[in-house]
Structure 1
């Protein structure tokens, strides 16, 4: 996600990990194996095996994220803590959630002074936290960058991201399937986006448009909201007034989707297949009840995955299911579509709006 995103807009699917390509060793150059060891380790990583969850050397991991002022962010923080509790060899130091970049910088400074073994950081502002993350890396402390990227890739040992463009592609691809399944002729497809000035919204909309284009469809009606319940209700009301018929509606965010559903209820407009985004428990319950068609996930597990990756790196391990002996530099999580057929698989990990 963009480092310039306001706190209300930063969210956004669950497990199903697509591992990125190893881009190179962190913070170093050359082909010397000693130089290519991950930051914070004394030797080259051990060969990946099937016993990664077995207790290893004790490691201390610092975790810092924004204030949990949104359901998705609350789930991010909880999942990180829960992941750490599963490992007796992990001591987790949790900084107080904040949307103040200066305060978060001081938190990372404290972790550096405490000489933690690794840092998992979901920055309130990726650009603002780049310098202090680089400082940690230079001190030999591997940094796991979650969700909002630093402005310099060398500020992190590994970056774990959701896939905003992929969300749009998933939503658009599913919409195309619905057009075919329902044998819709000249379908009206609508979109309720998030804040249009944000790269994440632009990426989601582009992915949606690109996927629709492949099946000869387009977005006929579009409005943008602000990732809040109130804005979702207001913009959905405007949308249904402007469009007397809608066959498929994609809403970018399930929190603002609460307001969208309220507007649809008030207008008695339930003729459309309503697709959500992000993966809230509320949306999944509506899917089970048949009141929503689907939702596209943006993983609230990113920080939990960060904790697991930080532990492996600090212990000099790789990911056991990969032949590569080192943890990848970049991991992008999948954006699957949740429908009535598979909702029970995802509901236990969904976040409350």
Structure 2
């Protein structure tokens, strides 16, 4: 009996020891996972905080990031969706900081909350690269990658003015109010209108970057009875919505419609002649350069503070060139 008791005690102690060792091993693994680079089999871990996975143009930007990621064997990207909620995005960035990722790519939901997110990363000595949406204080980030929004508005309205011979009633369709792109693209539009005394803004409203809302806004404008010679939208999705409403009303031939971004859908409308003007914003290019810059920063390499991706005018004359870019 004594031998059996000793044997049982030995087995119990052996099992307890195994459990203890296993528990320690588990804690060590968790610690490695949180430590970023060392916890991912030597990979550089990048946290990508995106505002909205459902936004069409931003989905192309994310595609650019993913394409670049595939070329880098030592890089892993964690993508999170803020669903256009600034407080949620702040929490996601805080989680990246706690996880000790090697760098963060941020496309801010809005320009108000963005500086705090940059500060959170800076305080933790984590490189942060802001992409697409610029804001006051962006210079505190490691780098910025994007296009100068005001230039797209200038290019867009210059072409509309050319088509209208400097005369006409303009309806401006704004994106989500307060967004840097909405403010600056509209500012660019207004600068060109001021240079053309025969042009004036007769209607202005927001459709929040959305096609269905653009269609609804255009329907309301048509019901107002005001003469409209051109609808100038802050992006292509709203412009397409305006085209749909104008087509339904049988008035598309009387109105010049212009957008910005040169998305694949928009290029089809340009090719058909329904969308007269768009401005190519290189979504994939911004995504690729944004992630590439973050990887370089994570490795301790020197990066440029501002990385500008130029806008380009697209009309029916050169649309085929841009259709090829998406293939």
So what's the TM-score if we normalise by structure 1?
0.69
- On the 8 A contact 1:221/1:239 being kept in 2, the answer is no
Tell me if 1:138 matches 2:118: no
Tell me how far 1:348 sits from its aligned partner.
5.1
Question: What residue number does 1:234 align with?
Answer: 216
Q: Give distance in 2, aligned partners of 1:87 and 1:343.
A: 32
Cα deviation, 1:115-174, whole Å, max 9, x if unaligned, reads 332211112244434334323223332100123346533541112233332221011211
Alignment of 1:144-163 (within 5 A): 144-149=129-134, 152-153=137-138, 155-163=140-148
Question: Which aligned pairs between 1:207-226 and structure 2 lie closer than 5 A?
Answer: 207-226=188-207
Q: 1:339 aligns with which of 291, 315, 326?
A: 315
Cα 1:70–1:350 shift into 2, 3 Å: farther
The CA distance in 2 between the partners of 1:129 and 1:196, in whole Å, is 16
The count of aligned residue pairs is 282
Instruction: Confirm or deny: 8 A CA contact 1:61 1:119 kept in the other structure.
Output: yes
Aligned residue for 1:118?
Answer: 103
Q: Which has the higher contact order (CA 8 A, sep 6+)?
A: 1
- How far is 1:247 from its partner? 4.2
Distance 1:198 1:298 in 2: 20
Aligned twin of 1:276 = 259
Structure 2 counterpart of 1:164, from 141, 145, 149: 149
Q: Distance in 1 between matches of 2:72 and 2:191?
A: 42
Change (3 A) 1:207 1:243: farther
Query: Quick one: distance in 2 between partners of 1:122 and 1:197?
Result: 17
Q: 1:286 is matched with which residue?
A: 269
Cα distance change on mapping 1:124 and 1:144 into 2, 3 Å: same
Does residue 313 (structure 1) correspond to residue 297 (structure 2)? The answer is: yes
Choose from 67, 77, 96 the match for 1:82. Answer: 67
Partner of 1:191: 171
For the aligned residues, what is the CA RMSD? 3.0
Which structure has more helix as a fraction of its residues?
2
Determine the C-alpha separation between the residues in 1 that align with 2:158 and 2:183.
Answer: 17
Change (3 A) 1:221 1:80: same
SS at match of 2:231: strand
Structure 1 Cα separation of the partners of residues 258 and 188 of structure 2: 15
What's 1:177 paired with? 162
The one of 252, 255, 262 equivalent to 2:234 is: 252
Return the offset for 1:65: 0.9
Q: Which one has a bigger Cα radius of gyration? A: 2
Give the CA deviation at 1:265: 0.7
How big is each residue's C-alpha offset from its partner over 1:170-215, in whole Å with a ceiling of 9 and x where there is no partner? 1121123324xxxx4x732422321584354342222112123335
Gaps of 5+ in 1: 1-56, 318-325
Residue 44 of structure 1 corresponds to: none
Give, in whole Å, the separation in 1 of the partners of 2:214 and 2:267: 18
Change (3 A) 1:175 1:99: closer
CA distance in 2 between counterparts of 1:259 and 1:104 reads: 29
Please name the residue that 2:19 is paired with.
none
